[in-house]
Amino acid sequence: MVMETNYVPITRGNRVVLMINGLGATPVMELMIAAGKTVPKLQLEFGLAVERVYTGSFMTSLDMAGFSISIMKADQTLLQRLDAPTKAPHWPVGSAGNRPPAKIPVPLPPSHSTKSEESLSRPLQLSEQGRILEAAIEAAVNAVIGMRDSLNDWDSKVGDGDCGSTMYSGATAILDDMKKYYPLNDAAETVNEIGSSVRRAMGGTSGVLYNIFSKAAYARLKANSDSTVTAKQWAEAFEAAIDAVSKYGGASAGYRTLLDALIPALSVLKERLTAGDDSSTAFVLSSEAALAGAESTKDMQAQAGRSSYVSAAILATVPDPGAMAAAAWYRAAALAVKAKHEKASS
């Protein structure tokens, strides 16, 4: 997407209105697909708060195929005028009531597509941290890959039926990209590249949320000047990632989402590290909390996502697929880290 801003400067953090205009022969469904692709791109890549989205045929050329995308900088006065009642036959009628302000997403750090090849090359020799990180990532994605059918089955009852396929796409992309260019000796940059892999390969809400998760963790890790990341710093990055997903996804504990696995894991991780447990033990114990949290979603009424439209009777038959996936990759990564530490000390 190329943004033309010569006439009205639009910069990161601005509030904008988006119009997807069909030129005459483009079906509404295709216009909606275009809107669905455009909004997250504006939010995540350009850091814009999309306040309104207008989709339809507003300015046409007979039965011309295609559509145009227009973005206008907005303030509260302009939004009030756009929302005002009108008798214009083809202008969307605004709904009454207060609208919460649009959220400005986490700024994206540069991805591998904007970095030099040198900075992306996989290290010829891995440090101890690099080997542990590689083992953790590989174990995590393989756990997700192995759950594809189960996740799809659960999601067919409470969602779109594609959670497993979506997670599988992200996991295989991470695995392939790690072998090619992840800078594994640099934990922060590796986490950043995981986000880039996810953004490229994963669709739907899961892709957006995991991208936000990775980028927030990256930002927290990057703030540390030490080359070796401590368990406490990993916990801080984990907390920053969870906070970002909660803030921009609008969910919290008890909403029947992936956070119901990750929030208990974070709580136990911080508790065990404070108590003086060694890092690998703390991570394994926290992964048990993640599994328990994911399983507990059977008893929750969904507050967000497609599951919020499903009856409580059906929800009680299966756990939340997103929470189970999160618990699985976290558990696998924790066990891999512990195995590496035990091997190193033996």
Q: Where residue 60 sits, what CATH number does that domain have?
A: 3.30.1180.20
pLDDT band at 343 (very low <50, low <70, confident <90, very high): confident
| pLDDT winner (highest mean) among 114-128, 211-225, 231-245 | 231-245
Report the distance separating Cα 83 and Cα 244, nearest Å: 30
Point out the domain boundary residue: 67, 83, 105.
105
Looking at the structure, tell me whether residues 163 and 83 fall in a common domain: no
Whether the pLDDT of residue 2 is over 50: the answer is: no
Looking at the structure, tell me whether residues 181 and 268 fall in a common domain: yes
Looking at the structure, tell me whether residues 135 and 93 fall in a common domain: no
Cβ-based neighbours of 20, under 8 Å, separated by 6 or more: 31, 34, 35, 38, 53, 54, 55, 56, 67, 68, 69
Enclosing domain of residue 197: 118-345
Looking at the structure, tell me whether residues 79 and 202 fall in a common domain: no
What are the tokens at 96?
A: 């009454």
- 330 with 262: CB under 8 angstroms? yes
Point out the domain boundary residue: 84, 105, 126.
105
Point out the domain boundary residue: 105, 137, 153.
105
Q: Among 5-19, 149-163, 206-220, 225-239, name the one with the lowest average pLDDT.
A: 5-19
Looking at the structure, tell me whether residues 146 and 241 fall in a common domain: yes
CA dihedral 249, 252, 255, 260 (to 10 degrees): 110
Looking at the structure, tell me whether residues 328 and 248 fall in a common domain: yes
Q: What is the pLDDT of residue 186?
A: 93
Looking at the structure, tell me whether residues 84 and 226 fall in a common domain: no
**Average pLDDT, rounded, for the chain:** 86
Looking at the structure, tell me whether residues 101 and 123 fall in a common domain: no
Whether the pLDDT of residue 117 is over 50: the answer is: no
**110 is a domain residue:** no
Q: Which residue has the higher pLDDT, 136 or 47?
A: 136
Q: What is the pLDDT of residue 120?
A: 62
Looking at the structure, tell me whether residues 174 and 101 fall in a common domain: no
